[in-house]
Structure formats: C-alpha cells, structure tokens
Amino acid sequence: MDDVVVIGGGIIGLTIARALAKRKLTVRVLEAGEPGQGASTAAAGMLAPQYEAAGGEAALLQLCLKSGELYPTFCAELYEESGIDPQYAAQGTLCPVFSDEESWRIVAFEAAQRRVGLPIEILSPEEARYREPHLSPSCRGALFLPFDHRVHTRQLFQALFTATRAARVSIETHTPVHALALKKHTVVGVHTSRQLFPCRYAILAAGAWSGLVTQHRSFPSLPVRPVKGEIVQVDTPPARRLAHPLVASRCYLVPRDDGSLLIGATEVEAGFDVTVTAGAVATLIAAATAALPELATFPFRTAWAGLRPTAPDRLPLLGPYGPQGLIVATGHYRKGILLAPITGELIAELITTKTTSLPLDPFSPTRFST
C-alpha cells in the first residue's frame, strides 16, 4: 500500500509528490495521459505575484508572495537533483502604457501595490525606454515590479519530472482514474482501468480535468472548468531582445534564454478544445506590435494553447474534501506555475503534520458545497 496516490501528473501533482517523498512517504502518481501535457508546459512562465494578486484577495496575495519567495531555492534544488536548468530569471517585470487613456493603469495599480506594502517604481517614458529601448515611441511611462520574475516552463517541468523520479515516486502514465475505493467514508485506494492502487490518502491534482474526475460518484463534485489560453512564439534577433517580461494592457511578452519571445494569452471558454485560431494569433500579434513595433518583422516560430483549471471565483481549491483521506489541489487558474512550490509544501504539511504554515480556509473546496 502506498501512503499517497496523487491523481494528476502536471506541475502541481509532481511538486506535491516530490515534497511528500522528501518527507519519507511512499507516493504514486496516476496520470491519464503523458505527464506535463496540460497547462504545465503550455504556460508562458511568468511568476507574477505582484501583478496577479495585489489589490485583490489578501490570502491569495500572501500565497503568491510566499511561493515567489520559494522559487529560487525550488529551482536550485531541481537543477541539483536533475541536472536540468529551469532557467529561473529575476530581472523584474515592466508594465508599460501606450496612451493617455491607459495612464490610469499606472495610478490605480501603484495605489493597489502601495496599499499592500509592495515595492514598485514609476518610470517616465524616457526611463522606460532606457530599460527597454525597443518599446514603442508612444510609451507614456511604465511600472517596474521587482518581485515578478520568469521561468522556462518546459525546462522546469522536465527538471521536476526527473527530480520526482529520482525521489523514488512511482509515476503511472496513461492510467485514468475511475473511482475512489472507500471504506466507511474513508479512502482506502484508487480504482483505475488497470487495477486498484491501495493508499491512505488520495490527492486530486488533475488540473482542468479535475471536474471530469469528480463526475465519478465516489468523488464529491467540483466546479472546475477549463479556460483556453493561446500563446504565440516568435524568434527575436539578438540586438532586439527584451531584458524583462512586459505586461501591456492587451498582452504580455516573455523572453526566453534561447532568444525566442512568447506572446500571450487569450482567455476563451471553449471546453477542452485546444485549437489555436487565426483570430487569436492575429489579436496577440497586433497587441504585441503596439508595444514593440519591430516585432512585426520577427520570424514566426509556432503557437499553442493550454487549458487553465478555473473555479467560479478563480481562486485555488486546496484542502480536504468529501471522504476522509481525500485532498484537493486544483483550480490554480493562471497561477499554477507560480503557486506550485507553496502548494507542494502546504499539502505535504497537511498530510504529515495536520497543520499548515499558511491558512487554507480561504481556498477550501467546501466553499462551493450547498
């Protein structure tokens, strides 16, 4: 019998599995397809606690900031354990505006950051273009967010997968879950098409597919749905590469160490469809060239789509749910990459000590129960 079976082999599931294995528990991951083929490797890799959470839910901001603090050590450990560099970069993020009408973003966003005590710089148009010389001449200024960084998601996931295997976690691929095995309303195992995997705890971390898993009668239903995000990748000539990720009003741009540039991302309610549409590509490139005019001449490389796991209030679902021994870790929306380290630690703490270093009540899956 395993101590823990994790349902889902994306970045959240593997981070939890690795954290538990480091605490000497026996862990098995059940993945319906290939690990990391969902949102984990489709994401652009922005680590943006300041941009994503400031001025909103206080508990979410605390969660995001703490996970951001964990990231340098998290990536360094993965590099050491796997030999694969996640390409973590801490240059900060620039948020430029390009019209007088947009200038309210600087005032409102600065006020939100100041209210929660986060450091922020307001840059004049000249200062913004000094830091990023290829910004449009129409730039009216920018905000600089020092806590918002980036990582190469595919490198990160490969490092995590290798490190998780090295920690002696069993990873079963192409093994969809059919039901929980329960005894007196307590988890005793997980049923798949292949066999029963006995365990003391089951962790549901199936991302956008978590709602499908909970359609089985042994799981309590979860309102998690997929929201499609499309991303365009172009190649950047060496003399025109960005020094920072950029967040504009209608897109973001994330540079990678290989010289490519990611432009994201749409938000489309399309079920589990991951088709990249011509309209999405055109919209993203138009928004990006408004910020960076020279981008129109950059070579197009590719485009793809991923599915964000989304709850009705767009907050994560973390904690016990339903039968004794079932724990949920899903619904991270567009913050799954950022929140992976803290999610792994909190779920591991919950299982091994019954307490957590940050409160999980604001993210309890029971908030949607009737």
pLDDT in tens, 148-178: 999 999 999 999 999 999 999 999 999 999 9
Give Cα 108 distance to the centre of its chain: 25
CA 130, 335, 361 angle in degrees (round to 5)? 130
Considering 290, 310, 330, which residue would you say is the last residue of a domain?
A: 310
Say whether both 232 and 305 belong to one domain. Answer: yes
Residue 18 shares a structural domain with residue 99: no
Asked which of 310, 335, 356 is the last residue of a domain, the reply is 310
Q: What's the pLDDT at 44?
A: 96
Q: What is the residue-averaged pLDDT of the chain?
A: 94
Cis peptide before 288 (omega within 30 of 0): no
Residues of the chain scoring pLDDT < 70: 53-56, 370
pTM (predicted TM-score): 0.96
Q: What's the one-letter identity of residue 319?
A: G
Whether residues 164 and 70 share a domain: the answer is yes
> Facing residues of 305 across strands?
230
pLDDT at 278: 97
In this prediction, residue 57 carries a pLDDT of: 81
Final residue of a structural domain among 310, 325, 350:
310
What is the model's pLDDT at position 55?
65
In this structure, the answer to whether residues 237 and 358 fall within a common structural domain is no
Which pLDDT score is estimated for 66? 96
Same structural domain, 203 and 332: yes
122 and 70 inside one domain:
no
Q: Could you tell me if 170 and 288 lie in one domain?
A: no
Domain total in the chain? 2
Structural domain boundaries, residue 58: 2-84+153-223+312-368
Q: Do 72 and 22 belong together in one domain?
A: yes
Residue closest to 191 by CA, chosen among 210, 217, 224: 217
Q: What integer pLDDT is reported at residue 220 of this predicted model? A: 86
